[in-house]
Structure formats: C-alpha cells, structure tokens
Amino acid sequence: MADHFKGLFVAALDRNSSWWYAFLACSRWVGFRLDTLAAITLSFECILVMAVHDRVSFLLTSLTHFVRHCLPLMVT
C-alpha cells in the first residue's frame, strides 16, 4: 500500500517538475527577448539624441529620458 502511494507521489512530483522547468524556460526566453528589445531601443534613442543634439534642448532630452525609463521603475 505504501509503495502505491509512493509511486503516485513520485509521478505527481515528476509531472510538476516538468511543468516548472517549462515555466522557467519560457520566462527566461521572454525575459531575454524583452531585455534585447530594451537594449536596442535604448541604443537607438542614444544615437538619435546624439544626431539631433543641436536641434533639441538638453532639458527636453532629460525629461524624455526620465519619463521613458525612470517613471516605469517607480510605478512597479
């Protein structure tokens, strides 16, 4: 009787572990894609700011950076 319940427990644990690893893999995949997208966006923003620095004021550039990057960190 104990071996039967032990077998059920091991099977349930194995099923749970496989889904947990699938969840971790998906989370890391999505996280990597989002980090890559954020790095590309920030690089493009830096290049754009350097390209138009003579036409845009420093204050406007600083405000845009604050709204885009710092406010979402404060909200969450």
pTM of the model: 0.59
Q: What is the pLDDT of residue 23?
A: 92
Structure-token pair, residue 31: 């996280």
Q: Structural domain tally of the chain? A: 1
Q: How far is CA 71 from the centre of its chain?
A: 16
pLDDT tens for residues 61-75?
Answer: 777 777 777 666 655
- 29 vs 1 pLDDT, higher one: 29
- Res. 76: pLDDT tops 50: no
CB 56 within 8 A of CB 49: yes
What is the residue range of 47's domain?
Answer: 2-75
Q: What is the mean pLDDT of residues 32-38?
A: 84
Q: What is the pLDDT of residue 28?
A: 92
